[in-house]
Amino acid sequence: MSYQSIYNSVWHHPGLAWAGALLAAILFARKQRFLVGWFVLFLVATIADAFFTGPLSTVAAPHAWIAGVVFVILGDLRFFVFTERFIRGRFDARAAVVSLGLAFIVPVTTEVLRRVIPQIGATPRLTFLTYEVLFLVLAVILRFTVLPQRLLGLPAPIRHWVLRVATFEVAQYAAWVGCDVLLQVGLEPVLLLRLVPNAMYYVAFLPYVVLTAPVLGWDDPTTRASRPG
């Protein structure tokens, strides 16, 4: 690799700029209330996702799939980080481990299915549909079974807020599944309809969480005990 190729590489620009922005976001988040830091960090991740996995991306084809997987995991991680923080009252090491564990359930399961059932890995669209169905199942279980139980005892505004965000997540993935099922049977015009869940994911999710946050959601109590679970 020549010096010129290194200088002209995507890892230099915009890679270096994005690394600096991420570092700045992390430092900012450490000095701010959780919800502000959460918003900033995942806003940076969302912008990077749109750039590195979209038509403007200069990531080489062999690495494009890896980039896509990384950003999908980050996109789902934002939901799990949010729920763990507001269920536990703080975001500690245990919350981080649980969030990461939840974020890896669907990617790992999808990869296993791709290897066991070759048809799933035959086309990216079918792989995406498999991922979406699995995540929708997980999101429904969390929304209607797990989260209501774990939220017991918390203030009503926090309970209702977390459940509304979980409902948003279910609706987003349900829309993706519906669109991709129709695409599988050859209805290409549905691509335009697929813009709706895309917009929910890339545009609406972060503002929705922040704009619907109750007053308690902006507090960072340091004396509140961590809740089990």
* Domain residue extents for the chain: 3-218
User: Which residues are CB-contacts of 90 (< 8 A; sequence separation ≥ 6)?
Assistant: 220, 221, 222, 224, 226
User: What is the structure's pLDDT at 3?
Assistant: 58
Q: How many residues does the chain have?
A: 229
Residue 185 has pLDDT above 80, yes or no: yes
Cα dihedral: 76, 137, 193, 65 (round 10): 50
pLDDT in tens, 209-229: 999 999 888 876 543 444 433
pTM of this structure: 0.82
Return the higher-pLDDT residue of 142 and 55: 142
Residue 61 has pLDDT above 70, yes or no: no
**Per CATH, domain 3-218 is 1.10.760:** no
- What CA–CA distance (Å, rounded) separates 34 from 54? 29
Helix crossing, 15-31 with 34-52: angle to 10°? 170
- What CA–CA distance (Å, rounded) separates 213 from 39? 12
Return the higher-pLDDT residue of 102 and 203: 102
pLDDT in tens, 71-111: 899 999 999 999 999 999 888 899 999 999 999 999 999 99
User: pLDDT averaged over the chain?
Assistant: 85
